[in-house]
Amino acid sequence: MEGSEAVPRVGVVVFVIKENTVLLGKRRSSIGDSTFAAPGGHLEFGESWEECAARELKEETGLDIDNIEFLTVTNNILLEEAKPSHYVTIFMRTIMADPCQIPQTLEPNKCDGWDWYHWNDLPKPLFRPLETLVLSGFNPFPAPEI
């Protein structure tokens, strides 16, 4: 449930990694409409970041995950959006419990559909917080073992 006061909110976003691709979908929202973003949502009272990421992913895609880890956090002041917003965004990484599982579009009013994208061939336009992260040089893939 989203409140209406102008306060910073906590968003938890999850990069689902499948081989060398990541899951993104085109948003339907008053924040970042028609831009590509990862699954995620608002941290609920009493929830860990891991619980939130797993819950949002399940609600939005039906996917079950195997392990989940914290990647990074960014501060996103989104005053140009239809709904001016400020998010502290927690980025997590996970893999699917069953690599053959197909993501479903379970909230079609919020996302046009999910697909897998290579990090060096991401769809455009990206949701601003994601674009900022990419432009900073960040990448969510595990470092190769030496």
Contacts with Mg ion, residue ranges (CB under 5 A): 41, 56
CA separation for the pair 76, 66 (Å, rounded): 28
Q: Which is nearer to Mg ion, 59 or 66 (CB)?
A: 59
Contacting range for ligand 8DG; rule: CB under 6 A; set: 35-43, 61-69, 94-102, 138-146: 35-43
Q: Per-residue x/- marks for ligand 8DG, 111-140, CB under 6 A? A: ----------------x-xx----------
Contacting range for ligand 8DG; rule: CB under 6 A; set: 33-41, 61-69, 114-122, 135-143: 33-41
Look up residue 34 and give its two tokens. Answer: 């028609």
Which residues fall within 8 angstroms of residue 60, CB to CB, at 6 or more apart?
A: 39, 40, 41, 106, 107, 110, 111
Question: Is residue 13 close enough to count as binding ligand 8DG by CB under 6 A?
Answer: yes
Tell me the closest approach of the beta carbon of residue 129 to Mg ion, in angstroms.
12
Of residues 127, 134, 115, the one with CA closest to residue 22: 115
- Burial code (b: 16+ CB inside 10 Å, e: under 16) for 39-76 equals bbbebeeebebbebbbebbeebbebebeebeeeeebeb
Contacts with ligand 8DG, residue ranges (CB under 6 A):
2, 11, 13, 29, 31, 37-42, 56, 76, 87, 89, 110, 127, 129-130
